[in-house]
Amino acid sequence: MAGNSFDVIVVGGGPGGYVAAIRAAQLGLKTAVVEREHLGGICLNWGCIPTKALLRSAEIYHLMQHASDFGLKADNISFDIEAIVKRSRDVSGRLTGGVAMLLKKNKVTVIDGEAKLEKGTAAPVVVVGKDKYTSKHVILATGARARTVPAIGLEPDGDKIWTYREAMVPKDMPKSLLVIGSGAIGIEFASFYNTMGADVTVVEMMDRVLPVEDEEISKFAAKSFKKQGLKLMVSSQVEKLEKTAKTVKVHVKDAKGKVSIVEVEKVILAIGIVGNVENLGLEALGVKMDRGHVVNDGFGQTNVKGLYAIGDVAGPPWLAHKASHEGIVCVEKIAGQKVHAFDKSNIPGCTYCHPQVASVGLTEAKAKEAGHKVKVGRFPFVGNGKAIALGDDQGLVKTVFDAKTGELLGAHMIGAEVTELIQGYVVGRQLETTEAELMHTVFPHPTLSEMMHESVLDAYGRALHI
């Protein structure tokens, strides 16, 4: 039927899928999105956005507790966890409705239901319930979910053992909890619950927290987290979970083989994610996979004609902004535009804990491993007037340059609002900026961004304020 025929069908309405669909429609392609649950995907409903709403509540609670530092008085500070969660869900709901309006505005057809793929002519046929839809191009944007390890009890039970979903909507504030994994998801939840008064322990298999970040930033973060009361168990792994009537006994083995038991009310699993590839018919189509994710080229194309994959289902980095841009590159290639293959090296990473962490490009260690002779610049928040005025003067901006060419290889930051500041370096890398352009750029005063300038100057022995 003509009504069931499209130029592009996107399976999944998350930040990769809905953005790809809108861009396809803008380019004149008849487009449909199949979504089984909520438009906006995990990001808008159970990830990026609602967690930031929770963290904002924690940030304000923290500031209120330290009102006297700013010459203010705030007595008997308390919180209502039910109201905090409600605000978070309301923020999510508002944005989800906005996605629906955007799709309607761009004349994208939304098909409710769960999709399966069958062999087709130009591209796989998309089956939703009893209906079949054909198109020239099918884009998989099915996302991912929390990784579990049922063999040792690492799977959610809706009560004592949580993934990000359960951790986002607590009915009561636990007195104690243990977070398994210290990537962005784990550390953000650890930061939220610690700020709200819970006794929090973090277990990490690697030898440092936030292990994908520059080592210097990780060490700075660990020092700050410990000062706030977080307990960090690095080079450690969970052997098993033992549930009691009211608690969970977590058996943790350290690098020396010693096993200790940490007893907590709740456990949060943050040990990574796995792509949503099941029950789609991918095996029958012969789709190439790698460790639970669909393999694609730099334009989203899989090894199957007319089938593409973008976002979390296509592998790391598992970030909403990566998914969106990957979707745009994919669709513009489909439309015949001249586009560059998707470059993952310029994707910024942000962790919204306290203090915030942000980075782009190579760490100092990775730059050296790649054969670069480097120049490294640093500037501490304590030397910045705006940071001192904010009452948030603990942090660091670090830049890594190629000593021969002046190329900005990477930038790494920890401190107030660095998740906003990092974009300056991202633009610099995208424009293939060298140290010379950055040095001659005028940064406004007084701002936190001045530290970005000073870090560049420091790499070349020209720092002015330290």
- What pLDDT digit, counting tens, does each position of 76-121 carry? 999 999 999 999 999 999 988 899 999 999 999 999 999 999 999 9
Indicate if the pLDDT at residue 274 is higher than 60: yes
Query: Residue 199 pLDDT > 60, yes or no?
Result: yes
Whats the size of the chain, residue-wise? 466
The DSSP line for 257-323 is S-EEEEEESEEEE-S-EEE--TTSSHHHHT--EETTEE---TTSB-SSTTEEE-GGGG-SS--HHHH
Q: Please give the positions annotated as active site.
A: 445
* Helix, strand, coil fractions of the chain, as percent rounded to 5: 35, 25, 40
Please report the pLDDT score of residue 404 as a whole number.
Answer: 97
Residues contacting 75, CB < 8 A, separation 6+? none
**Tens digit of pLDDT for each residue in 205-239?**
999 999 999 999 999 999 999 999 999 999 999 99
Rounded mean pLDDT of the chain? 95
Mean pLDDT of 397-410: 98
Contact 404, 373 (CB under 8 A): yes
Please write the tens of the pLDDT for every residue from 159-193.
Answer: 999 999 999 999 999 999 999 999 999 999 999 99
Matching fold, domains 150-271 and 355-459: no
Query: From 3.10.180.10, 3.30.70.270, 3.90.660.10, 3.50.50.60, which CATH number describes the 150-271 domain?
Result: 3.50.50.60
Distance, CA of 458 to CA of 462 (rounded, Å): 5
- What is the Rg, in whole angstroms, of the alpha carbon atoms belonging to the chain? 24
Class at the top of the CATH hierarchy for domain 355-459: alpha beta
pLDDT of res. 2: 56
Which CATH code for domain 2-146+274-344? 3.50.50.60
Report pTM.
0.94
| Residue 36 identity (one-letter amino acid) | R
Give the model confidence (pLDDT) of 218-227 as tens digits. 999 999 999 9
- Is 27 a residue whose pLDDT tops 80? yes
**What is the pLDDT averaged over residues 10-19?**
96
Where are the domains positioned within the chain?
2-146+274-344, 150-271, 355-459
Residue 175: count other Cβ atoms within 10 Å of its Cβ: 12
Cis peptide before 380 (omega within 30 of 0): no
